[in-house]
């Protein structure tokens, strides 16, 4: 996981460095062919090659052969840099420059620290100092320096000024936001209204947002007692075996048909299965009761304290062993549980909708699940339907703002590029594309053992 984060960090710094405007652009070899020229200044293949890995990483282009989009990207950066300079948006006050230096220094130290965390050999001060030196050396080999990062911060601030100028103070109106909500919301409703499994998979496992919440969700909080793990595992084992039995019941066959297909191996397997006692519901219930009996004194104490008026939430803090119940949002709103939920332990779902859980405030009987003993509280009903939350409002606001930025920049670039002397050297671009495609083809044809792991 750390390797992935470090890769993203390095690629992000490389991208910021490459997007630096003219004064921060790296010097390229004179023999590198020009792919385009903007106001007499060449954009070379070397510059494109330096940028391509970052554009691929950020999915701006599909692969390393897309020189057309890469050159266009670089052309637009030069055009933008020229307009920013012409309009004085790259001029800053001493106070602003000081703030940029502090921001760059903080980001640089964070980058060094993250890389040092990855390579540090032990917890000693000496090891830490050595790791920080190695981190600085690593970034130096990548062409990344504090000065380059500072230039990137300044260029970003300059572009923010241009964006503010072009946007002219635009803020989405409530009418615009509501219109998007009414347009997109029904799509979520149609997809999830009758499909709890898909809803939970997409929102809980895949992390996607939904503007629609299906009906029937309850907010559930609980006290978890992990219990004796040997006894809890016994319940799990019996439940798993019982489920296997249910799924593997053979279709009825005549004795004559069975005799015809029997073999020494299958007879041996059947004998082994017969030797293992079938699991019954009574066995499972007895195993669950053993878990409860082991914690009977604690369970009785909890219910006595609840009966005397003590707060369920306070008892969670005293007895509960679920780390999720220490998260303020979970404690305030409860876990969202539906009677068709797939993300919770089935015993937890059954308990949340048991006969003891009729209305908000009700407390369940103790139940045994995969993680131990649960005592549940029906905290509240979770509102369903299309509801404009603050998070959704902000999501739509950002969408409309981004769409407006794309629109104003598109219009601006039409005028800016018409003002400038821009030449695309198509023969050189085509040659670069052909060379990249040929290189990719040659790599594909290599045997797997000859291709070095990235």
Q: 388-424, pLDDT tens digit by residue?
A: 999 999 999 999 999 999 999 999 999 999 999 999 9
Work out the pLDDT band at 106, boundaries 50, 70, 90. Answer: very high
Is pLDDT at 20 greater than 90 in this prediction? no
Helices (DSSP H) in 19-145: which residue ranges? 45-57, 67-86, 94-119, 125-141
Work out the pLDDT band at 448, boundaries 50, 70, 90. Answer: low
Rounded distance between C-alpha atoms, residue 177 and residue 399, angstroms: 9
Q: Of the CATH numbers 3.40.50.300, 2.60.40.1120, 3.10.50.40, 1.10.4160.10, which one belongs to the domain with range 218-247+276-383?
A: 3.10.50.40
Closest by CA position to 335, among listed 205, 194, 207, 204: 204
**Taking residues 284-300, what's their average pLDDT?**
95
Is pLDDT at 427 greater than 90 in this prediction? yes
Residues in a beta bridge with 225: 373
- Tell me whether domains 2-170+395-450 and 218-247+276-383 share a fold: no
Distance of CA 173 to the CA centre of its chain: 30
Q: 29-83, pLDDT tens digit by residue?
A: 458 999 999 999 999 999 999 999 999 988 999 999 999 999 999 999 999 999 9
Is pLDDT at 27 greater than 60 in this prediction? no
Q: What number of helices (H) and strands (E) belong to the chain?
A: 18, 9
Rounded distance between C-alpha atoms, residue 215 and residue 381, angstroms: 9
Higher model confidence: residue 259 or residue 156? Answer: 156
SS3 223: strand
Would you kindly state where each structural domain of the chain is located, as residue ranges? 2-170+395-450, 218-247+276-383
Written out in words, the top-level CATH class of the domain with range 2-170+395-450 is mainly alpha
Q: Are 348 and 369 in contact (CB under 8 A)?
A: yes
């Amino acid at each position: 996981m750390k390797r992935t984060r470090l890769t993203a960090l390095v690629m992000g710094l490389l991208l910021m460095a490459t997007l630096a405007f003219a004064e921060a652009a790296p010097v390229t070899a004179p023999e590198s062919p020009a792919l385009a020229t903007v106001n007499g200044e060449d954009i070379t293949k070397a510059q494109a090659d330096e940028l391509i890995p970052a554009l691929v990483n950020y999915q701006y282009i599909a692969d390393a052969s897309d020189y057309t989009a890469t050159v266009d990207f670089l052309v637009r950066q030069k055009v933008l840099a020229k307009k920013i300079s012409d309009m004085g948006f790259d001029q800053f006050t001493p106070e602003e420059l000081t703030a940029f230096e502090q921001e760059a220094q903080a980001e640089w130290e964070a980058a060094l620290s993250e890389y040092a965390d990855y390579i540090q050999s032990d917890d000693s001060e000496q090891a830490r100092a050595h790791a920080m030196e190695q981190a600085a050396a690593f970034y130096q080999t990548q062409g990344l320096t504090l000065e380059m990062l500072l230039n990137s911060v300044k260029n970003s601030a300059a572009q923010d000024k241009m964006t503010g100028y072009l946007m002219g103070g635009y803020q989405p109106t409530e009418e615009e936001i509501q219109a998007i909500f009414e347009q997109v919301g029904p799509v979520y409703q149609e997809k999830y209204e009758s499909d709890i499994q898909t809803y939970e998979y997409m929102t809980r496992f895949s992390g996607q947002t939904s503007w629609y919440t299906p009906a029937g969700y309850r907010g559930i909080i609980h006290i978890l007692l992990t219990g004796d793990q040997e006894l809890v595992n016994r319940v799990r084992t019996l439940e798993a075996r019982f489920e296997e039995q249910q799924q593997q019941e053979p279709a009825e066959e005549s004795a004559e048909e069975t005799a015809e297909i029997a073999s020494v191996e299958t007879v041996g397997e059947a004998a082994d299965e017969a030797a293992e006692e079938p699991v019954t519901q009574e066995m499972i219930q007895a195993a669950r009761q053993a878990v409860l009996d082991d914690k009977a004194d604690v369970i009785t104490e909890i219910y006595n304290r609840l009966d005397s008026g003590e707060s369920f939430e306070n008892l969670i803090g005293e007895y509960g062993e679920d780390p999720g119940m220490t998260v303020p949002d979970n404690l305030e709103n409860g876990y969202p549980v539906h009677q068709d939920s797939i993300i919770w332990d089935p015993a937890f779902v059954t308990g949340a909708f048991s006969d003891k859980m009729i209305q908000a405030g009700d407390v369940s009987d103790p139940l045994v699940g995969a993680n131990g003993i649960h005592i549940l509280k029906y905290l509240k009903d979770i509102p369903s339907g299309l509801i404009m939350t603050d998070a959704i409002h902000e999501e739509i606001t950002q969408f409309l703002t981004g769409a407006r930025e794309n629109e104003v920049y598109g219009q601006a670039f039409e005028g800016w590029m018409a003002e400038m002397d821009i030449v695309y050297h198509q023969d050189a671009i085509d040659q670069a594309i052909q060379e990249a495609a040929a290189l990719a083809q040659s790599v594909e044809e290599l045997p797997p053992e000859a291709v070095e792991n990235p």
